[in-house]
A and B are shown apart, each in its own frame.
Chain A
Amino acid sequence: MHEASLAQAVLERIEEAATTQGAVRVVRIVLEVGELSGVVPEALELALRCLAPGTPAQGAEIVLVRSPARARCAACGERFHPSWLPCACPRCASPAAVLEAGQELLIREVEGE
């Protein structure tokens, strides 16, 4: 349930940016959550909606993009999508995979007016 802490961090950063850039209202918030980040997008969205009232982000459209995990086989170099871990290479069955993406937790963009 650290989604509430993450939502708090997002809203504080947005409030700061809105103030310094003279935006009175935030229109759109786009966040990127990696498949293997350990964060539940629905819980993060709920936390944002609960905590936004009283901040410039109140009423903003919230978009959560779930970015896919990507692994590279350390044995044969094959790139593949691991649905969860541990994962074996679909080409050579080696269990030695290097995770290249999937742990992201990003503010992708925020628009205000």
Chain B
Amino acid sequence: MKRILTREPILAANDAAARAVRERLGAAGIFAVNLIGSPGSGKTTLLEATVGVLPGVRMGIIEGDLATDRDARRLAALGVPAVQLNTGSGCHLDAAMVLGALERLPLVELELLFIENVGNLVCPAAFDLGEAAKAVVLSVAEGEDKPEKYAPTFLRAQAVVVTKADLAPHVGVDPHRLAASARAINPALVSFVVSARSGEGLDDWRGWLAAKGVE
């Protein structure tokens, strides 16, 4: 009997693909954000609103879903280069998929890339996609206890965007308390409270992206 493997990350192959993504994005001077959140948390709507408040920024988008190209079409309709990835039954994107999607984007023209992950608050967090930052998207309607219930995702993120703030009075959740409960899990999280419908908070979100060298 002999030892054929010793102490290495389970996701070593994904990590290698993520390094390749990071190198390509770095060479092109692109800041990439991996958006993670439950189905219906408002990820695509946040992206539509972000396109609206960053009119001069050359943005590209990779959309992840089990099926349909609906999200990519929503963003392409706004004039943004958008690539749809369909995972079939896969619950997350991995770095090899993103590496393939980069081939279908005009990288030299871009400065900001959003990767909208498959709607899921658990699995996507384990897979480095080569992004510069992970942002968790969480709507007020999901309830204040979600950061505590889904702590690993919040631990690995740099930002949390609390969406649908306009619904807060109707669902009885204080969006700022929701943001605070996420920061209790990970004190390094930068938090935003936004409403794509009313425009509330989008300035702060834009300011954070701008501080990352975009705009």
Contact = CB atoms under 8 A, between A and B. Distances in A.
Contacts, number: 101
B119 to A, nearest CB: 13
Contact of A27 (B1, B6, B92, B184): B1
Contacts of A17: 4-5
Interface in A74-113: 84-86, 95-96, 99, 103, 105-113
Contact of B153 (A38, A96, A109): A38
A38 B4 contact: no
Given A27-B1, A38-B126, A112-B1, A10 B10 contact: yes
A111 B1 contact: yes
Contacts of A27: 1
28 contacts: A2-B123, A5-B94, A6-B126, A9-B14, A10-B10, A13-B8, A13-B10, A14-B4, A17-B4, A17-B5, A21-B4, A27-B1, A36-B152, A37-B126, A38-B123, A85-B184, A86-B151, A86-B185, A99-B155, A103-B155, A105-B10, A106-B9, A109-B3, A109-B6, A111-B2, A112-B1, A112-B2, A113-B1
Interface of B: 1-14, 90-92, 94, 122-123, 125-127, 148, 151-153, 155-156, 184-185, 187
